[in-house]
Amino acid sequence: MLSKPVQKFTYIYSLIVSIELICGYFTNLASLHYFTKPLIVLSLLIFFFIRSQFMNKTIRTLMIFALICSLIGDVALLFDIINPNYFIVGLASFLLAHVLYVSVFLKQRAHKKTPVGFMIVMLLYAALLFYVLKDGLGDLLIPVLVYMLVILSMSTTAYLRRKENNVTSFNWVFAGALLFMLSDSILALNKFYQTLPLSSVLIMLTYALAQYSIVIGILKYNEKLR
């Protein structure tokens, strides 16, 4: 059950995401895309900053910087068509964001044993995806491989929060981590394999849900979300 402040933000966030999806889909609204896309994470950043006053300072700082890196990545990828170097900037920004998320999840780790079964499933998924993408990666083969390993680490560390007594927090964060993997997978397939139908909508929808879920999950862990 979401509190009233979270419900109010969710309505606003849903509106922002909906406008972004519309702007990203219709070419005649493409110019608005440059404003609506950054608003997704920017709104989450402002909301988290306000609602996390009582949180552990280290975790709060890591989360804020993770969202800032995500925002930089969003802006950089907007200009990917103009200059391919912006894709590298975006990749590096999201790589750092994932590392920061990993740090947060490890600080809240409750499951001490290595989740071998879960890791095998994740590695098989990554191996299959890499096999499909490898011929189209070119000079980006190593950076993309490193990125894949880091996002696998993020999903694994999110899973390590499984034994935490705040089940609601775990469910939100773990769902967010998996949605992040799905969003990045669709983006990679669309860019390096073949153009996918409705790719822009699917990428942004799963991405927006991923970031929202992680933020809400971390705030739920704080147990002071009102």
DSSP the chain: ---HHHHHHHHHHHHHHHHHHHHHH-GGGHHHHHHHHHHHHHHHHHHHHHHTTTS-HHHHHHHHHHHHHHHHHHHHHHTTTT-THHHHHHHHHHHHHHHHHHHHHHHT----S--HHHHHHHHHHHHHHHHHHHHHHGGGHHHHHHHHHHHHHHHHHHHTTTT-S-HHHHHHHHHHHHHHHHHHHHHHHHHHT---TTHHHHHHHHHHHHHHHHHHHHHHHHT---
pLDDT of 142 strictly over 50: yes
What mean pLDDT value characterizes the chain? 89
- The confidence score (pLDDT) of residue 184 equals 93
pLDDT of 2 strictly over 90: no
pTM of the model: 0.92
Q: How confident is the model at residue 14 (pLDDT cuts 50, 70, 90)?
A: very high
pLDDT digits (tens, 9 = 90+) for 25-61: 777 777 888 889 999 999 999 999 999 988 899 999 9
Q: How confident is the model at residue 226 (pLDDT cuts 50, 70, 90)?
A: very low
% of the chain with per-residue pLDDT over 70: 96
